[in-house]
Amino acid sequence: MLFSSFSFLFVFLPLTLAAYWLVRNRFDSISAGQSVILMASLVFMAASTWLDLALLLTSLAVNWLFLNGLARSENGRRKAVLAIAVTFNLGFIGVFKYADLFADTLSNVMTVAVPEPDLPLPLAISFYTFQLIALLVENARHRWPMPQAKMMALFFSFFPHLLAGPLLWFHEIRPQLERLRPLATETFFPGMMMLSIGLFKKAVLADSLAPLANSYFSGLEKGALPGLIDAWAGTLSYTFQIYFDFSGYSDMAVGLALLFGVSLPVNFYSPYKAASIIDFWRRWHMTLSRFLREYLYFPLGGNRRGTVRRWINLMLTMTIGGLWHGASWNFALWGGAHGLMLAINHAWRGVGFALPRPLAWAFAFTGVVFCWVLFRTHTLAAASANFAGMLGINGIAIPPSYAAALAKLMTVIPGIYVSGAGVFRPPDLILLAICGVISLAMPNSEQLVRDRDGLLLRSWPGPAFCGVLATLGLMSIFHPVSFIYFRF
Amino acid sequence: MFATASIPELTTVRPATASRYLAIWALTLLLSWLVFAGFIAVVDPYDFLGSPRITGFNASKYEMSEFGRIAKLREVGRQKPQALILGDSQAEGGLRSSTLAELTGERAYNLGFLGARIEETKVAFGHALQVAPVRTAVLALDYVAFEGGVDRAKLLQARADHAPWRELRDFAEFTLSMKALVAAGRAVLFNHLNTPPSHDYEGDWVNHENIPINDNATPVENKPPADSAYAAFDKICALAREHHVDLRMFATPVHRSFGQDMASRAIWLRRLRAIAAQNGLKIADEGSDAAFNADKRNFFDRGHFVATAGDAMLKRLFANSDRAGGDKTR
């Protein structure tokens, strides 16, 4: 079930809120409130497929047993239990998510046909498995008391963050879930504002960019050689699509949780305003970044073992982080490219010469945009064609309707040619410009709603503005497009 | 080096302020939706509501190519043509209803629409037979229209049958959606600029872009024809026979850069001809002339022939039949 769908917004959410209000506000029962949210979350998961729900519950049940084992074990044995538990989780995700990739890679390397299991990718498996591993590791480290089964199920299935995060630690949300608040206007109001902004970003902006990006990259995979304008417009379409799609989802998740009085962490903070790659990763998918830091970068040694080792650690962390996104080598390449840029960024900092901020921003943004090509394309040939287009090697294609108007220009500038296939039109470019202004020059959702004295909470134009955003969002959900991160 | 995503405090708003602002939010949501819906209803960009047409404001409709499946079903009931052009965008853009009217002496309407599968054409034809006194039909047979379109046909059938849920959804989508709002804005702007609409009153796709043909373009994927498509074609022939409609058919050409698999096409055409013969009908082949298919002047893009070529095809189709100059008022 998509957040940006009629069934969710007009059936599931109102029914869940009504049931929660009844038991939590009218009958003042925290336990019943928890049960309502738990049941609603299981229904939410089952609305995808029963298999997804069954896998989630199986994973939770097995990990609950591991947690029991950890709680009862002493030091040496605890490490062994933890190792088995982590191996189980990696195996679980490995079978369902990476088996095809391994089989395919083996086939290519060994030139022997290795059969691919071709299992369906369970919804949210990357998210809940990552969080389960974190719970196991933290419990082993800190010897926290064994969580109640109900609280554990509630945390992992909590529908606002179930499918695509934010990635959470059990212990940071547990206090809020244990003392679930009644519905109250002071949390309901900012929740609705956040939900409105998220819906607008997802349904209006990201879903408008989706056909442009899909059509462009599908042409690329079929062998098209894009011109300069198309290559940049196509890549920027995806750059803004994935940002508005994922940050829109995160805003909606944060907003939905706030409706029930639960505060989730910030996940995006204007990442495209970043003036360095280091800064970018402090602003993009922030909850993933902290997990990568805690469970990959630090265990690998972080920056404690010299400069070269730090660079290697960065590359490794980001490459594995890339693979976490999807079972395909292009994601590893994307992660590796970011790791390399991070290493270069650190090396540059070591030189001690700071670029002027606009120039630093231009470098960082261009690097991020180029990397999205690796993320979105499935073959090196398509990625190369796109890079060639972005560098102007394929010339500049213009739509046939502009041929007459630009005839003189075509005689002056070599490489301009008329093409009818996959050429971006002025309205598409206007849409891209609007998305650029919103992501680069406007305050972000956190600043608007959740920062102290948030801009939209100060006076009546704020909520009125959000009302219009909500209207535009609701007008755009007739053909909802799935969230990009649902595939991860 | 990596971020620390912290959890902000739950709220900074006082309850009384929150209640007031929540009311403002809800009221704005409702009012803005009413304003947008009102604007869409007045402009009526899809001609869905039949709102008055005002020159320079909303007289021309620009969403026919996307909305054709609904608008044309309604329009064929309004215009009640006696001659029909059926098929996909090749028929819509390459065959002119005025030429068909000349050849048959009947009121003609172009019921072809973008990306139509033959199953959809069957539904459209069946609907037209119920709402208009159809006597003649020309069916342009495009190989790619036989890829299979059972689900699309079901949707079209629900619209033709005015299924209540479908009507409600269409009403919402074409009067309350963002797509309709953008379409309404476009309609007002284009009417103001006096931009010619994509389709004429008789349903012909007239203002299409001429896309230069690249001989080295990647060939399209040739999907094999579906069984449901052959069944739908059989049904079209049967409908024509049952309703005594003079159905004339031809297989369409594409430019050679389209990369059509001619061997598969020949098998497809043979099978269609066998089905047609069972219904006492014939199919002309306009698509196997290599010289014609190689000449870029015959196509406005590599998948669509130009209207002058279409005129010649229609004339050949009606050659040896004395149909012109009939009673146009029937």
Predicted confidence (pLDDT) per residue in B101-141, tens digit:
999 999 999 999 888 999 999 999 999 999 999 999 999 99
> CB of A187 within 8 Å of any CB in chain B?
yes
> Nearest CA to CA, how far is A412 from chain B (Å)?
21
* pLDDT greater than 70 at residue B310: yes
Inter-chain residue contact B18 with A420, CB threshold 8 Å = no
In B, which residues are within 8 Å of A464 by CB distance?
24-25, 28
Closest to B15 (Cβ–Cβ): which among A186, A264, A460?
A186
Query: What structural domains does chain B harbor?
Result: 72-166+201-317 (3.40.50.1110)
> CB of B209 within 8 Å of any CB in chain A?
yes
pLDDT at A122: 85
Q: Which of residues 216-275 of B touch A (CB under 8 A)?
A: 217-218
Query: What is the C-alpha separation between A334 and A338, in angstroms, rounded?
Result: 6
B139 phi, psi to nearest 5 deg: -115, 115
Per residue of chain A (488 residues), what is the pLDDT tens digit?
A: 889 999 999 999 999 999 999 999 999 999 999 999 999 999 999 988 888 999 999 999 999 999 999 888 887 788 899 999 999 999 998 888 888 888 888 888 877 777 777 778 888 898 999 999 999 998 888 877 788 889 999 999 999 998 887 899 898 888 999 999 999 988 899 999 999 999 999 999 999 999 999 999 998 888 888 888 889 999 999 999 999 999 999 999 999 999 999 999 989 999 999 999 999 999 999 999 988 998 889 988 888 888 888 889 999 999 999 998 888 899 999 999 999 999 999 999 888 888 899 999 999 999 999 999 999 998 899 999 999 999 988 888 777 767 777 777 777 777 777 766 666 788 889 999 999 999 999 999 888 887 766 777 778 888 999 999 999 999 999 887 878 776 66
pLDDT at A273: 96
pLDDT at B41: 94
pLDDT at B16: 78
pLDDT-derived band at B2, boundaries 50, 70, 90: very low
Q: Which of residues 410-449 of A touch B (CB under 8 A)?
A: 418-421, 446
**Residue A340 structure tokens:** 């390399």
Query: What is the C-alpha separation between B293 and A225, in angstroms, rounded?
Result: 25
Inter-chain residue contact A185 with B211, CB threshold 8 Å = no
A479 phi, psi to nearest 5 deg: -130, 75
Alpha carbon of residue A245 to chain centroid: 8
Q: Which residue has the tokens 């002027």?
A: A356
Exposure on the CB side of residue A202, measured as CA atoms within 13 A:
30
Closest to A289 (Cβ–Cβ): which among B3, B10, B21?
B3
Provide the strand spans (E) within A368-453: 396-398, 416-418
In A, which residues are within 8 Å of B296 by CB distance?
none
* pLDDT greater than 80 at residue B28: yes
In B, which residues are within 8 Å of A471 by CB distance?
28-29, 32-33, 36
Query: Which of A475, A477, A479 best tests the B interface by mutation, with the highest count of B CBs <10 A?
Result: A475
Query: What is the C-alpha separation between B61 and B188, in angstroms, rounded?
Result: 9
The answer to whether the bond into A166 is cis (omega within 30° of 0) is yes
Minimal Cα distance from B12: which residue of A?
A: A452
Closest to B5 (Cβ–Cβ): which among A265, A452, A471?
A265
In A, which residues are within 8 Å of B211 by CB distance?
400, 420-421
> Nearest CA to CA, how far is A6 from chain B (Å)?
12
pLDDT at A136: 92
Q: Which of residues 45-84 of B touch A (CB under 8 A)?
A: none
Amino acid in the structure at residue B306: V
> Nearest CA to CA, how far is A73 from chain B (Å)?
31
Query: What is the C-alpha separation between A273 and B20, in angstroms, rounded?
Result: 34
> What three-state secondary structure class fits B251?
strand
In A, which residues are within 8 Å of B36 by CB distance?
471, 475
Considering the candidates A161, A285, A325, A338, report the single residue annotated as catalytic.
A325
pLDDT tens-digit readout, B220-239: 777 899 999 999 999 999 99
Minimal Cα distance from A204: which residue of B?
A: B178
Inter-chain residue contact B210 with A400, CB threshold 8 Å = yes
Query: What is the C-alpha separation between A242 and A129, in angstroms, rounded?
Result: 23
In B, which residues are within 8 Å of A465 by CB distance?
28
Give A263's DSSP letter: P
What average pLDDT score do residues B87-104 get? 95
pLDDT at B80: 94
> Nearest CA to CA, how far is A15 from chain B (Å)?
18
Q: Which of residues 11-40 of B touch A (CB under 8 A)?
A: 11-15, 18-22, 24-29, 31-33, 36
Instruction: Report the range of poorest mean pLDDT among A302-316, B31-45, B53-67, B184-198.
Output: B53-67
Strand partners, A241: none
Q: Which residue has the tokens 């098209």?
A: A224
pLDDT at B91: 95
In A, which residues are within 8 Å of B29 by CB distance?
467-468, 470-471, 474
Query: What is the C-alpha separation between B187 and B193, in angstroms, rounded?
Result: 10
Query: What is the C-alpha separation between B88 and B112, in angstroms, rounded?
Result: 5
> What three-state secondary structure class fits B300?
strand
pLDDT at A452: 65
Closest by Cα among B143, B168, B170, B82 to B272: B143
Closest to A223 (Cβ–Cβ): which among B29, B177, B218?
B218
Amino acid in the structure at residue B133: P
Give A306's DSSP letter: -
Torsion of CA A226, A228, A230, A231, to 10 degrees: 70
* CB-based contact A174:A298 (threshold 8 Å): no
CA dihedral for A388, A392, A395, A401, sign (positive or negative): positive
> CB of A458 within 8 Å of any CB in chain B?
no
pLDDT at A467: 95
Closest to B6 (Cβ–Cβ): which among A222, A261, A265?
A265
> Nearest CA to CA, how far is A245 from chain B (Å)?
17
In A, which residues are within 8 Å of B24 by CB distance?
460, 463-464, 467
> What three-state secondary structure class fits B325?
coil
pLDDT tens-digit readout, A357-374: 999 999 999 999 999 999
Q: Which of residues 300-329 of B touch A (CB under 8 A)?
A: 301
Alpha carbon of residue B186 to chain centroid: 20
**Residue A436 structure tokens:** 């650029």
Give A375's DSSP letter: H
* CB-based contact A65:A145 (threshold 8 Å): no
Inter-chain residue contact B209 with A290, CB threshold 8 Å = no
Query: What is the C-alpha separation between B109 and B137, in angstroms, rounded?
Result: 10
Strand partners, B109: B84
pLDDT at A128: 92
Query: What is the C-alpha separation between A245 and A247, in angstroms, rounded?
Result: 6
For residues B183 and A106, which has the higher predicted lDDT (pLDDT)?
B183
Share the mean pLDDT of chain B: 88
> Nearest CA to CA, how far is B38 from chain A (Å)?
13
Inter-chain residue contact A467 with B36, CB threshold 8 Å = no
* pLDDT greater than 70 at residue B329: no
pLDDT at B65: 66
What kind and span of H or E run contains B227? helix B227-242
Query: What is the C-alpha separation between A456 and A247, in angstroms, rounded?
Result: 18
pLDDT at A423: 66
> CB of A266 within 8 Å of any CB in chain B?
yes
Closest to B5 (Cβ–Cβ): which among A166, A173, A187?
A166
> CB of A462 within 8 Å of any CB in chain B?
yes
Closest to A467 (Cβ–Cβ): which among B13, B26, B218?
B26
**Strands B304-305 vs B299-301: parallel, antiparallel or unpaired:** antiparallel
Taking one residue from A and the other from B, the number of pairs with CB-CB distance under 8 angstroms is 156
Query: What is the C-alpha separation between A284 and A278, in angstroms, rounded?
Result: 10
pLDDT-derived band at B330, boundaries 50, 70, 90: very low
| Start-to-end CA span in chain B (Å) | 81
| Start-to-end CA span in chain A (Å) | 16
* pLDDT greater than 80 at residue B278: yes
Please indicate whether residue A325 is annotated as part of the active site: yes
CA angle B234/B239/B240 to nearest 5° reads 100
